[in-house]
Structure 1
């Protein structure tokens, strides 16, 4: 499969690429890309094929073809992704990364490619928690290194905030009764509530802190402009809408 080729660890395998990809290989445009394996449905492991799939993975594949590079893809915990880009250990990161002023000081971002925010998730029979203020004195789960964790730290004074390494750990803590609520990125929360959590959890309250996701690059990367051009072209010709509809439904309803 094409994605298997892109995720191959040996650069020699990439020599099979054709067309624009072949030209990129001739110029040694093989970038090291990192993602988080647990941000469903943006990136997740297909247990049957062992490949990474998701909205971000489809965006990455399309952007790479248009911008003219091949890539080796690897995974790591989200809290290590920005430092990996900052230190130059990887060239690119795509993992539902919120563009923030703090992060922009140490890495370069593409233009935003997804509008998001933060949402609150509780068990289906929980009626006392309807908004963020109701979390005072409660136990709330979120993800290590995420903007949702930073938001809770700034906006809740007496809640017991527990950061988990992965979203699956966070959601299992909620279902198991270890926490009273989970607070995280809206698309991920919504996807879980409609899939594995259906009938067991519910999304409550408003959308907090509107956010935008961007693709992260090492500072000064020459690939920011080509990637921005690719993203713009994808939105112009409808390719972005097709990918969005595959994972979330119509982009107009976002």
Structure 2
């Protein structure tokens, strides 16, 4: 299972991007990149870095936040698509955004539909799959009005799977009693664009956004997620993406080694 391990750079947020890529190269792991470090290094320089290192880019995070699809927001998403194509990321992760001022959750979801209709053809032309990531409902008001895998699949349905898919992130969908049906449906429709691991720990930390648990420290049944996703025929990488203040305070190389070892334990 180690061959499928991918390290999302956010797990060691303050680790130099070059060092993270080099660690992935030594471990034979893929890497999930983030736009801010990519832009800081430069898109062309990042593309050369991963190419020279022989590291597969599994995703670029993130775009979206388009529940109020202004021209400026759509243009930034087009730039994100271009960045993904340039660095060799087959997938651009989308976090839809919360409820805009003066809006409702229904109008925000309409904004997501409108933005996808604008962006999907552009992404397909550039060989990038837009991956809709449903987030836990506690983030619906301010970060993501898409809260279930089936809702994400409904949003993706009007578009070719090559253009729009979904993210299965254990941290965000573990609670959903319909998640297994959603995974099976995503497999039938060919829409699993990204598979991510993170654990849910209780009691919840004060900063819930940055309280994702190390794999095996919480209540997520990773073995079942692995079995259910594998049963769909998905054989792609599995990214570990942990937003965690305690991890961020530690040396990146140490976090990488711990995270890879935890991944191997929960997938054994």
Normalising by the residue count of structure 1, what TM-score does the alignment of the two structures yield? 0.31
Instruction: Name whichever structure is richer in strand by fraction.
Output: 1
The structure whose RCO (Cα within 8 Å, separation 6+) is larger is 1
Instruction: Name whichever structure is richer in helix by fraction.
Output: 2
**Larger C-alpha radius of gyration, 1 or 2?**
1
Normalising by the residue count of structure 2, what TM-score does the alignment of the two structures yield? 0.30
